[in-house]
Structures are given as C-alpha cells and as structure tokens.
Amino acid sequence: MKCAVISVGTELLMGQITDTNAVYISRQLNMLGIDVLYRYTVGDNDGRLREILGLAAEDCDLIITTGGLGPTEDDMTKETVSDFLGEKLVEDEEAKHILMEMQQARKHRFTTNNYKQYLLPEHATVFQTEIGTAPGFAVEKNGTTVICLPGPPYEMTEMFRRCVYPYLAKQQDSVIYYKVLRIFGKGESLVETKLMDLIDAQTDPTIATYAKMAECSVRVASKRRTLEEAKNAVEAMVRKIRERLGDNIYSEEDEDLVQVVGRKLIDRHITISCAESCTGGLFAGNLTDVPGISDVFERGIVTYTCRAKIEELGVREDTLERETAVSPEVARQMAEGLQKKTGSDVCVSVTGIAGPGGGTPEKPVGLIYIGCRYRGKTLVKKLLTPNFSREWNRKYAVLMMLDTVNRLIDGRPVMQENFTDPEGKDIPLE
Amino acid sequence: MKCAVISVGTELLMGQITDTNAVYISRQLNMLGIDVLYRYTVGDNDGRLREILGLAAEDCDLIITTGGLGPTEDDMTKETVSDFLGEKLVEDEEAKHILMEMQQARKHRFTTNNYKQYLLPEHATVFQTEIGTAPGFAVEKNGTTVICLPGPPYEMTEMFRRCVYPYLAKQQDSVIYYKVLRIFGKGESLVETKLMDLIDAQTDPTIATYAKMAECSVRVASKRRTLEEAKNAVEAMVRKIRERLGDNIYSEEDEDLVQVVGRKLIDRHITISCAESCTGGLFAGNLTDVPGISDVFERGIVTYTCRAKIEELGVREDTLERETAVSPEVARQMAEGLQKKTGSDVCVSVTGIAGPGGGTPEKPVGLIYIGCRYRGKTLVKKLLTPNFSREWNRKYAVLMMLDTVNRLIDGRPVMQENFTDPEGKDIPLE
C-alpha cells in the first residue's frame, strides 16, 4: 500500500503552526508497513486541494488528509474530497447524536456552524471519539481509499489510534520493522564514519543517521514478509552497531533520554532532587513529564538568584563573591546543599550562562557547570556549548544533566569528553 | 513570486522527526510577501525528488529545499538539484577554506565525507555560516530560482536569517502584512461565532481562526502594494475584533502567553516566585525561557511530595491530611508560604492531578487548583481540564497560571469561567 499524506490549512503554509500531524501519521503508517511516498501541504483552497488529490491518486492507493473538518467557514476538506470522489454529503444521524450530547455535556452552546459537522459522505466509514467535535471518515472509491481526519493534533491522534489504525491494520501484506538508536555525546559525522562499511553494504536492513539538537540517531529498518523476519534482520544489525557505539547509545527504542532516566529511577527506587539555575526548572519540568515519577522525584529548587542559592541550598556567600555563581565550586555546593536538605539519593545541580546576555571573556555565554551528588561523592562537570541560542544552551544543559545521572546510577564512567567541547574536563569524583 | 517548499528526508516520511524547517521558511516567506502554494516532503530518493522538482517548477518561480546537504551517503539533494538544473558540481575554494577552518576550530576531525560538502553548482550563490558544515546555495536558471538549505533546524534558520532573507528581499513587488491575535479562555467555535459577520464579509483583509492546545488564534492578513496600505487594512480590522473579544486577546503579535507575561514582569519590575506540584517545574522552566527574566524571577520550588510542601512552604500537615494535597486550601498555603519565604511581589502556586493515575471519583485526573498571592491578597482558582493527556493537563495548568498572573498584575478581573469547565468557580480575593 502506497500512501500520500495531505495536510490542509492556510495556517500551515503561512507558518502559523507546525505540522505535527503529518509526523504522527507517517510514524503510524510506517509501523503498519505502509510506505509514505509523499507529503503535501495545501491551503484551504478548493482548487489546489483538488489538484493535489488528483496527483496523489496517480501514485498512491491510500490518501490521508488532516485539517479542514472544523465547524468554521474556511473548513472545506470534506466538501472537496466528497466532490472529488463523486460522493454526496448526507446528514449522519449517529454523528449528529454524539455531537449534540458532547456539546451538552460540556455545557457548550451548539453553535450554528456545528451543524455542518455531521454532514458526511454517504458511503463513508465514520470515525468519532469524544475528543473534539469534528468526525473523521474513510471512503473507498475505484481502488483509492481517502481518509479525512481533523486538524487539531489531540483530536487527530486520538482518532487515529482508536479508529484509523485498526481500520488499516486489516489490509497489510508486508511489514516494516525498525529500531531507532538514540545517541548522545557523538556527532552525526563521527557516528557515520564509525558505521561507514555497514552503511556502504546496506540493502535490507537500511541504516540512516540523523542529527538532532545536540543528539543524533541511527534508524535501522527492514521490510519483510513477516514481522519476525524483519525483526531478526534489524536485531542482527543493531548488535553490530552496538559494538561500535557502545554506551553512547542511550536508547534502542527511540525514547527520549528523559524517559530512559525517569524509568530507571522509578524501577530502581532511586530518589532524585534537583537544583537549577540557568535551566530555570526545565530539568524538573522535563523529568516530571514521565508518568509515575512522583514515586521518586522528591523536590526541585530553581535558585535563579544568589540569595536563593544561599537560602535554599546553603551556598556560601564568600564562594559566590570569589568564584561567581557560574563556577564548579558553586555547582558542587548546590548539589551538596540539596542533598543535606532533601536526603535524595541523587542530587543534581546546574549553574551556567544561558544567554543571550551575561557573558564575559572569562565566562562566556554557554559556560555551564553540572554538579551531581550520589553515593557520598560529588562530581562536577564543565560544559562549553557552541551557544547557538538561549534555548539550545538550556536544552543541552538538561540533556547533559540527564546523561550524567544516567551514567552515575548505572555505575558507568561519566563522559570525560564533551560533544561540543573536547577540552571540557570533568573534575573527578572525590 | 510563487514558491514551493520541498523538505527532503526519509526520516521525515518515516515520522522520525518533525518538520519545523518548512514552518519557519513559510513564515519568513510570508513576511516577504511570497506566497507559498505548496509544501512537499519526499524521501532521500533521486527519482521522486526530481519528479517533485518538475511539478513545483510548473507553478512556482521559487523552489526552496531543505535537507540532504550533509556529509553522509544518503544526502543527495545537491546532486539531484544540480542535475535537474543542468549544473555541474565544482569545488568551491571559499567553501572549502571555511569548512576546514571550522572543523579545526572545533578540534573535529575532517572526515572523508566532509569533502563532499564543498562541491557546489558552478553558478551558485553560496550561503555559509559558522554554524554547521553544510553550505547552502541559490541557483537561477530559466526563470526558476532553486535554493537549497541544510536540514538541521539550527543550521537552516541561521542561514535563512543571515543569507536567504536578504537575498530574497531585493526581489519583491507586493507585500503581505498580517497580525495573529492570540486568545486564551474561549474556544474556536465561540470565537468564530462572535466574528461571523466579519468573516462572511471578508475579501481583504482575510480572517481565519485556528485551534491550538487549549488556545485559539485569529489571523488577519492583507496583501497590498505597499506595507503601509496592508498595515492600515489589518489594523482597522483588528480594532473591530478587539471590540468583540476584549481581554481574551492576550497578544496581537503572535507571542506566547509566557512571553507576554514575562515581558510585563520585567518592564514593571514585578518580582515573581512559583511553587509547583503537578506541573513539576514547567511553569518555572517556561518563564525562564524569556530572556532577561533573571531580573525579576526570584525562585521556583517544585514541591512534588507532601514533605516538600511542608518543609519548603510551611503547608500545614493537618491540612494535607484533612483536605489532601489537591485542594484549594493547600494551593492557598503554598502561595502564602512562598510569599513569606521569598517576599516576591507575585507568588503563584499550583497543585493538581496530572494523571494518568492518581484520580478518584471526588478528585478526578485533571482537577487543578491555582493559588496566587499578590498585593496582600490570595486568589485561589479551580480548574477541571478535559483531561486529554498528562501533557495536556500540565500545559493547560501552566497557561492558566500565566493568565491568572497576567490579569492580576494588570488589575483586571481573573476569569470566573473556565474554558473547559463552566462551573469551575474562583474563590474570590479575600
């Protein structure tokens, strides 16, 4: 099955919003072994959508659209698709019923434009969830299946998961299986150089490397007749890659580092607290996105000011004066003060200059110190990020904090060489 | 000028990564008055990229590609585009020089695959920045300009800002001006109903509404001969919309609520601290993303456990036992304890059940209390989110905290009616 994904919405072409729907759908189709050949984005424009539908139908037997199913006037996907397929729009009694109940339950008024939403193609399979008011649908005509889904991501993903995935899963005859290895601490060029002979020799599984913000990943994919064959092929290749990249691979399941670390802490009942300066709560905010983390996450302190560092963590005033807030000694005192206060197993701290202002020649923007108290020892690590932006610096600091915690609780050595600063040396465990 | 944006990368079609580049480029082109007619996404596949280039060249006089310029083997955009345009690839001496210096400065090895990167089309205008090793370029041929840019977002955006925008700005003859009004506290249907007559009558400016997670926005756009004409038309329409939506509009510059609130706090020298339970540092993490916030952000405390609430904020143990941690009284004590501790002008607190677990019939997942101490009074606000997900609940809570702070420091009444729970009543100021 070959698929085209069409995202409809002038707001997409204007750059108002990011198209996360197309990404989600691509990933799901991939798991179903459905090749996505193209993705298109068009405005809320009948003529151009029709043109793209025609194009897509030439190469593909599955077309999925998102967006333009809402109650408002510029929403015209349903009308254009129905007309393209030669389908009449008719009132769908069930959709109408569900919609009215939903609005009632929310105590929302049933606005005039809501009525438009239960007009659906007469031969449609209707998809509806209790999230969002726009029903989706599938219509099969002359060998082409067109599936139309709503635009708001939380509505679309729920509908895909509960209605579309099962609908499509019935129809497949080959399977793609893939693994995505996530790597922290090595750049894309270096990773590819290490894997060059494997990449050169690839047929199936295929190997591809991708750069992400401060990270990189390797996708190993195989398309076979059965899931088992595909799985075996991928696993054999992953073993070879593992030998070359070692523990720079932090996940083989395409998980974020925070999920990996969070789950380990929960599974091993290791309690954690954090004291943040330059990241301003981002570490805590990320870590607490992991479901179940409340079992082990004890406390986070955002000590943005010197006063807060002194009062909350017992950082010494003379140290702050002598060494300034961005120094290895302050990172150490933050982690140690936090440990005294909370008694958490892991106490991680960070202090640095996120920018854009606040840098000096001696302490430039992007200079960051991470402290980590664990099992009676304190490790302090220095980073000097390439300072692409304030956002980058903060995210990178959070990743390095996570990597440091990840290695310490595994009993593995903390990286002595930074991705971005080969000279950034760790101050070893005391 | 009519433009097509082509994103190249199998990882995009596989759904490995989100295409933020196309969004960024769309927005920039929009500001330049260049219409984006289509966006396409294709894999790292010579034949399909060639097909899309042909299609795009039929309708568009500007084609921008991102991705596939890297040093690795699957990167073939440059080769395909050059071949499509009938251009030879030649060694570019300057690009080579810059590239080698860059790798040296970073103490990175100059890997064999880096050499590929300074081969460029012979009539290209070369774009290069010190971020990233892949040069971009523009080639004009038979009335079509093709611009190729690297895929990693931080490389691409820097190159666009510094090289591509100035390159394109010289060539325009009409201008689009638009404003995006950001709205919190009213759903999309309701907003559109209030604006229906304006939308029905629209020619230029055009009006369109968009739903976002827990928010909605209205875009007002005008395309005219001069920037001044377009601006005047947009401003006149915005005045009308403002009359209908009042202070639910929190920005007319498409800013995030956190930017609006952060800037007000900084400009007015109002200090702030926060105490978070269910949002786990997300409020602090978001707020400290605002550059310059260190002038007013005093402290954040993530009190995830009861013990932390007692020790850090002086929440009373008997209150926690009697009313549980998720209660209006605990939200109040958190805000008041924080104020005693920090003396900050605004002290905002949050406690709730983010899910997926932890709900009870009386206190379901999605129940959240926000406390805010300001000018000697404490306001407590109850929310009951529709509980789409843990992530949604946490984000929505942060938005409502920001909205509450925004209204209090403006001296405006805090919303008595919640977007998602018409019955959620505020406990009025004491």
A52 touches chain B (CB under 8 A): yes
> Whole-angstrom Cα distance, residue A70 to residue A134?
6
Among A5, A8, A16, A265, the residue to mutate for chain B (most B Cβ within 10 A): A16
In CATH, the number for domain A257-427 is 3.90.950.20
Q: Of A356, A357, A358, A380, which is closest to residue A370 (Cα–Cα)?
A: A380
Provide the pLDDT for residue B109.
66
Provide the pLDDT for residue A176.
77
Mean pLDDT computed over B102-113: 68
Report yes or no: A323 and A380 within 8 Å, Cβ to Cβ: no
A73 touches chain B (CB under 8 A): yes
Pairing of strands B144-149, B215-224: unpaired
Mean pLDDT computed over B362-378: 94
Residues of B in contact with A19 (CB under 8 A): 18-19, 22-23
CB < 8 Å from A in window 238-277 of B:
254, 274, 276
CATH class of A175-251: alpha beta
Residue B175, pLDDT > 90, answer no
Q: Which residues contact B73 (CB under 8 A, 6 or more apart)?
A: A192, A199, A200, B113
Residues of B in contact with A391 (CB under 8 A): 289
> Dihedral of CA B305/B309/B311/B312: which sign?
positive
Q: What is the CA radius of gyration of chain B?
A: 26
Q: In chain B, what are the domain boundaries?
A: 2-169, 175-251, 257-427
More confident residue, B360 or A172: B360
Provide the pLDDT for residue A320.
96
Give the rounded distance of the alpha carbon of B50 from its chain centre. Answer: 32
Equal CATH topology for B2-169 and B257-427: no
Provide the pLDDT for residue B107.
64
Residue B212, pLDDT > 80, answer no
Residues of A in contact with B20 (CB under 8 A): 18
% of chain A beyond a pLDDT of 90: 58
pLDDT digit string (tens) for B122-133?
A: 999 999 887 777
Q: Write out the E strands in B109-214.
A: 119-121, 125-127, 136-141, 144-149, 175-183, 206-212
Query: What's the token pair of residue B280?
Result: 């786990």
Provide the pLDDT for residue A108.
66
Among A24, A41, A66, the residue to mutate for chain B (most B Cβ within 10 A): A41
To the nearest whole number, what is the mean pLDDT of chain B?
88
In what order do the strands lie in the sheet containing B272-276? A426-427, A377-384, A367-374, A346-352, A272-276, A297-303, B297-303, B272-276, B346-352, B367-374, B377-384, B426-427
Query: What's the token pair of residue B293?
Result: 């916030």
% of chain B beyond a pLDDT of 70: 94
Residue B149, pLDDT > 90, answer yes
**B356 preceded by a cis bond (ω within 30 of 0):** yes
**Closest chain B CA to residue A355:** B291
CB < 8 Å from B in window 109-148 of A:
109, 111-114, 131, 133
Residues A154, B292: C-beta atoms closer than 8 Å: no
Provide the pLDDT for residue B252.
94
Q: Of B58, B50, B63, B69, which is closest to residue B6 (Cα–Cα)?
A: B63
Provide the pLDDT for residue B421.
35
pLDDT (tens, 9 = 90+) of chain A, 430 residues, equals: 899 999 998 888 887 777 889 989 998 898 787 889 899 999 888 988 998 999 899 889 999 999 998 877 788 999 999 999 999 999 888 888 887 887 776 666 666 677 777 889 999 999 988 777 789 999 998 889 999 999 988 889 999 999 998 899 878 777 778 899 999 987 777 888 899 899 888 889 989 888 777 788 998 989 888 889 999 999 999 999 999 998 899 999 989 999 999 999 999 999 999 999 999 999 999 999 999 999 999 999 999 999 999 999 999 999 999 999 999 999 999 999 999 999 999 999 999 999 888 889 999 999 999 999 999 999 999 988 877 788 889 999 999 999 999 999 999 988 754 433 334 344 444 3
Provide the pLDDT for residue B226.
83
B2-169 CATH fold: Molybdenum Cofactor Biosythetic Enzyme; Chain A (3.40.980)
Residues A217, B16: C-beta atoms closer than 8 Å: yes
How many residue contacts between A and B have a Cβ separation below 8 Å?
Answer: 333
> Whole-angstrom Cα distance, residue A158 to residue A153?
8
A48 touches chain B (CB under 8 A): yes
Q: Of B207, B205, B239, which is closest to residue B224 (Cα–Cα)?
A: B205
% of chain A beyond a pLDDT of 70: 94
**Closest chain A CA to residue B279:** A285
Provide the pLDDT for residue A129.
85
B201 touches chain A (CB under 8 A): no
Pairing of strands A272-276, A346-352: parallel
- Name residue B39's beta-bridge partners: A41, B5
**A356 preceded by a cis bond (ω within 30 of 0):** yes
Continuous segment of H or E residues that includes residue B46:
helix B46-59
Output the 3-class SS for chain A: CEEEEEEECHHHHCCCCCCHHHHHHHHHHHHCCCEEEEEEEECCCHHHHHHHHHHHHHHCCEEEEECCCCCCCCCCHHHHHHHHHCCCEEECHHHHHHHHHHHHHCCCCCCHHHHHHHEEECCCEEECCCCCCCCEEEEEECCEEEEEECCCHHHHHHHHHHHHHHHHHCCCCCEEEEEEEEECCCCHHHHHHHHHHHHHCCCCCEEEEEEECCEEEEEEEEEECCHHHHHHHHHHHHHHHHHHHHHHEEECCCCCHHHHHHHHHHHCCCCEEEEECCCCCHHHHHHCCCCCHHHCEEEEEEECCHHHHHHHHCCCHHHHHHHCCCCHHHHHHHHHHHHHHHCCCEEEEEEECCCCCCCCCCCCCCEEEEEEEECCEEEEEEEECCCCCHHHHHHHHHHHHHHHHHHHHHCCCCCCCCCCCCCCCEECCC
Q: What single-letter amino acid sits at A242? A: R
**Closest chain B CA to residue A220:** B11
Given its phi and psi angles, is residue B141 left (phi above 0), alpha (psi -120 to 50 degrees) or beta?
A: beta
Residues of A in contact with B388 (CB under 8 A): 131, 154, 158
Residue B227, pLDDT > 90, answer no
Residues A210, B11: C-beta atoms closer than 8 Å: yes
pLDDT digit string (tens) for B52-107?
A: 999 899 889 999 999 998 877 788 999 999 999 999 999 888 888 887 887 776 66
Q: What single-letter amino acid sits at A201? A: A
Residue B426, pLDDT > 60, answer no
